[in-house]
């Protein structure tokens, strides 16, 4: 039975996603977002209470100087987090080196002044843990004082996703998305997260069809 609540949910979440995919002329179109690396270590290596499994995760590395990344985090909050906060299993994980907990709490409070922070996770790790986790991305770039300008997209299986090439920028790969660039966040990153969610939606529909055939 189609209820008013279901209609509202469809109009708010599913229809915009389908419309995006129909109108999209980018490289992804209806193709799956490429897997860059499927051997990323789980975030539980840093915080045993957190996991990447069964979640769509955006990962960022705050480094020793949190003022350096403040602008990027505000961009990420406005252009990405607020667009996907209502999506199931979405989270942003900000990784902070040990000793920077007070600064991280101040930054979290500033972001949270006008934001529901329920899907923002600030976790603290040793420098060894942070390096081990980042190295598992097998990214060509290196952390600078445990900091990166880029945010990274991890799927529900814990695999690093991104664009191995980009039609509009043939010489550029989107393995990480520059948080200082509003155009990177509201363009490629937002689009790629939408494509990833559509993958899960399409897989769910396929499973339902298969179940009906078995019955």
Tell me the pLDDT tens digit for each residue of 90-148. 999 999 999 999 999 999 999 999 999 999 999 999 999 999 999 999 887 889 999 99
Query: What pLDDT score does 164 carry?
Result: 75
Average pLDDT rounded to a whole number, residues 182-190: 94
What confidence category does residue 29 fall into, taking pLDDT thresholds of 50, 70 and 90? very low
| Phi/psi of residue 4, nearest 5 degrees | -60, -40
Query: What pLDDT score does 163 carry?
Result: 84
| Distance set, CA 117 to CA 26, 77, 79, 191, 210 (Å) | 31, 10, 15, 22, 38
Which bin fits 146, alpha (ψ -120 to 50), beta or left (φ > 0)? left
Query: What pLDDT score does 26 carry?
Result: 42
Query: What pLDDT score does 23 carry?
Result: 44
pLDDT tens readout for residues 63-84? 999 999 999 999 999 999 999 9
Q: Which of 85-89, 113-117, 200-204, 207-211 has the lowest mean pLDDT?
A: 207-211
Q: Which residues contact 39 (CB under 8 A, 6 or more apart)?
A: 136, 138
Query: What pLDDT score does 31 carry?
Result: 75
Query: What pLDDT score does 214 carry?
Result: 61
Average pLDDT rounded to a whole number, residues 2-29: 52
Does 178 have pLDDT greater than 90?
A: yes
Average pLDDT rounded to a whole number, residues 6-35: 57
Task: Set out the domains of the chain in order of their start, with CATH numbers.
Answer: 33-196 (3.40.30.10)
pLDDT tens readout for residues 148-162? 999 999 999 999 999
């Amino acid at each position: 039975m189609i209820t008013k609540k279901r209609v509202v949910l469809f109009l708010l979440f599913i229809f915009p996603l389908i419309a995006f995919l129909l109108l999209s002329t980018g490289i992804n179109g209806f193709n799956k977002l490429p897997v860059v690396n499927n051997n990323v270590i789980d975030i539980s290596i840093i915080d045993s209470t957190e996991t990447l499994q069964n979640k769509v995760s955006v990962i960022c590395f705050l480094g020793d100087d949190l003022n350096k990344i403040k602008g990027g985090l505000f961009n990420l909050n406005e252009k990405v987090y607020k667009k996907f906060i209502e999506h199931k299993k979405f989270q942003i994980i900000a990784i902070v080196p040990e000793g920077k907990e007070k600064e991280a709490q101040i930054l979290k409070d500033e972001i949270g002044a006008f934001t529901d922070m329920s899907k923002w996770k600030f976790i603290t790790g040793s420098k060894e843990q942070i390096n081990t986790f980042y190295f598992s991305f097998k990214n060509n770039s290196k952390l600078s004082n445990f900091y990166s300008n880029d945010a990274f997209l991890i799927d529900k299986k814990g695999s690093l996703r991104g664009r191995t090439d980009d039609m509009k920028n043939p010489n550029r790969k989107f393995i990480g998305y520059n948080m200082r660039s509003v155009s990177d966040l509201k363009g490629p990153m937002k689009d790629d997260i939408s494509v990833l969610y559509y993958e899960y939606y399409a897989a769910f529909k396929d499973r339902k069809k298969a179940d009906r055939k078995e019955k």
